[in-house]
């Protein structure tokens, strides 16, 4: 603040701006100085309404983000909704705001994390798995979950509620479910999938249950605010916040074997017991399911994207389990830089702008029998142009035993048509 005041020069007639800045600082206001070389410098200040009566401005009683005043080269904008108008805003009355119904200055209110958490918190539950051993009741594991349907459907993590014995999944024990309001229920595992680490638990209640809304993880970008909720170390109703660090962290990046998976990486603080709890956006929607963290590092937490979870839930409803087609291909998404590098190494590399490179074909696999070769670039799958592995996975869905027509480009731009018949993946892979 001292630095700002030293840099700004004020005449006796502009002392009011010093007064404004002092009030803003004293009242936990937010000050923004923007000095964009392509536009005029601006000062943006968020001030509690109760103190606004002390400001030297007249005739600006309503939504303050539309108010602006000129102080030499510094236009001043205030960004706070008057409480008198809060009801009208909630009812959808027109207000002077920018895109998306947010203040035109693009500032977030100081309660944005608390408001988002409050929307989801009543539906966040603690799941305690108990086991009787020689007449003694012991807690085997504890995790979190979220009620996503008023019928008592709870979304949680598989590793918290089921054991794997070969290919058979068994419940770890009696599941006690505790809501934020203190109510307790006995839960039953309805579906689970260890590969994705997603499970569905059901409770029965004669009274209404709170629910949380599923959002969309595809809209997330690195840097977006997110909130992790759950019961770490048995501490119920815990909320932590952070940002999205990566929207498509691959399982191979984490040294995890098996089939390809993608995670949301955040710097939210999560610990044992957070698993299965919701990752929430600032709109109060679930965008992920918290699963794990890197124990030897800070700020490296991972969640399953809710778009992937929604597909798993659809598989549960349709088949009672997740059906995954298997081709036997190792694949790599291509971009301009990778293509340029490959061309430098081999002048015969096919002329493509995008596509999916096949570095390896598993011997004896459906892809091997169909005639795929290492070095092929997939350009069409099931008759549709493709540019990413994700598109291929979406096209295959759960199509087992059904022929798929594929077009690949090889050295010297040779285009080859192939027909591959996916098999169901071995769950132990």
Question: Which residues have a catalytic role annotated?
Answer: 159, 197, 275
What span, in angstroms and rounded, lies between the C-alpha atoms of 277 and 148? 12
Question: Cα-Cα-Cα-Cα dihedral of 152, 158, 162, 166, to 10°?
Answer: 140
What is the rounded CA–CA span in Å between residue 298 and residue 339? 35
DSSP state of 421: -
Structure tokens belonging to residue 164:
């794997």
Task: Give the residue among 351, 411, 343, 353 at the shortest CA–CA distance from 385.
Answer: 353
CA distances, 76 to each of 16, 21, 65, 265, 271 (Å): 12, 11, 10, 37, 44
| Torsion, CA 101, CA 310, CA 119, CA 24, rounded to 10 | -40
- What residues contact 62, with CB distance under 8 A and at least 6 apart? 82, 84, 85, 95
Residue 377's CB: how many other CB atoms inside 10 A?
23
Residue with tokens 């997603």: 198
**H or E element that contains 16:** helix 15-26
Q: How far apart are CA 284 and CA 382, in angstroms?
A: 38
With contact defined as beta carbons under 8 Å apart, do 188 and 199 qualify? no
Contact 423, 325 (CB under 8 A): yes
75 Cβ partners below 8 Å, 6+ apart? 40, 42, 43, 68, 69
Helix (H) or strand (E) holding 419: strand 414-420
DSSP code string of 299-345: S-EEEEEHHHHHHHHHHHHHHSS---EE--EEEEEE-HHHHHHHHHH
Nearest alpha carbon to residue 355 among 380, 337, 374: 380
CA dihedral 133, 134, 136, 142 (to 10 degrees): 0
Separation of alpha carbons 172 and 189, rounded Å: 10
């Amino acid at each position: 603040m001292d630095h700002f005041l030293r840099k700004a020069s004020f005449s006796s007639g502009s002392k009011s701006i010093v007064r404004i800045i002092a009030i803003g600082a004293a009242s936990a206001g937010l000050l923004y100085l923007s000095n964009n070389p392509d536009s005029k410098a601006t000062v943006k200040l968020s001030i509690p309404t109760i103190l606004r009566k002390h400001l030297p401005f007249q005739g600006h009683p309503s939504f303050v983000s539309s108010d602006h005043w000129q102080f030499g080269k510094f236009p001043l904008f205030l960004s706070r909704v008057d409480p008198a108008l809060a009801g009208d805003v909630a009812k959808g009355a027109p207000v002077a705001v920018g895109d998306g119904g947010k203040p035109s200055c693009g500032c977030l209110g100081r309660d944005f994390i608390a408001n988002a958490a409050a929307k989801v918190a009543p539906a966040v539950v603690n799941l305690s798995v108990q086991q009787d051993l020689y007449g003694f009741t012991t807690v085997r594991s504890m995790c979190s979950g979220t009620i996503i349907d008023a019928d008592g459907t709870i979304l949680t993590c598989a590793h918290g509620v089921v054991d794997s014995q070969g290919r058979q999944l068994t419940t770890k024990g009696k599941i006690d479910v505790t809501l934020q309001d203190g109510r307790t229920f006995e839960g039953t595992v309805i579906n689970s999938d260890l590969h994705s680490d997603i499970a569905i638990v059901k409770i029965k209640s004669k009274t209404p249950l709170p629910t949380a809304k599923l959002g969309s993880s595809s809209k997330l970008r690195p840097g977006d605010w997110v909130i992790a909720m759950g019961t770490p170390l048995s501490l119920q109703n815990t909320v932590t916040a952070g940002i999205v660090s990566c929207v498509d962290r691959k399982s191979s990046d984490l040294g995890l074997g098996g089939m390809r998976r993608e995670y949301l990486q955040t710097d939210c603080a999560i610990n044992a017991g957070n698993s299965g709890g919701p990752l929430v956006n600032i709109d109060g929607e679930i965008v992920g399911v918290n699963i794990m963290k890197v124990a030897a590092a800070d700020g490296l937490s991972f969640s399953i994207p809710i778009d992937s979870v929604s597909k798993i839930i659809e598989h549960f409803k349709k088949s009672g389990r997740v059906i995954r087609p298997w081709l036997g291909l190792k694949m790599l998404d291509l971009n301009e830089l990778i293509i340029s590098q490959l061309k430098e190494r081999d002048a015969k590399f096919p002329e493509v702008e995008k596509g999916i490179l096949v570095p390896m074909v598993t011997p004896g696999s459906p892809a091997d029998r169909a005639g795929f070769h290492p070095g092929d670039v997939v350009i069409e799958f099931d008759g549709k142009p493709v540019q990413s592995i994700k598109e291929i996975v979406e096209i295959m869905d759960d199509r087992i035993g059904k022929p798929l027509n594929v077009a690949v480009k090889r050295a010297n731009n040779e285009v080859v048509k192939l027909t591959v018949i996916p098999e169901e993946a071995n769950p132990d892979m």
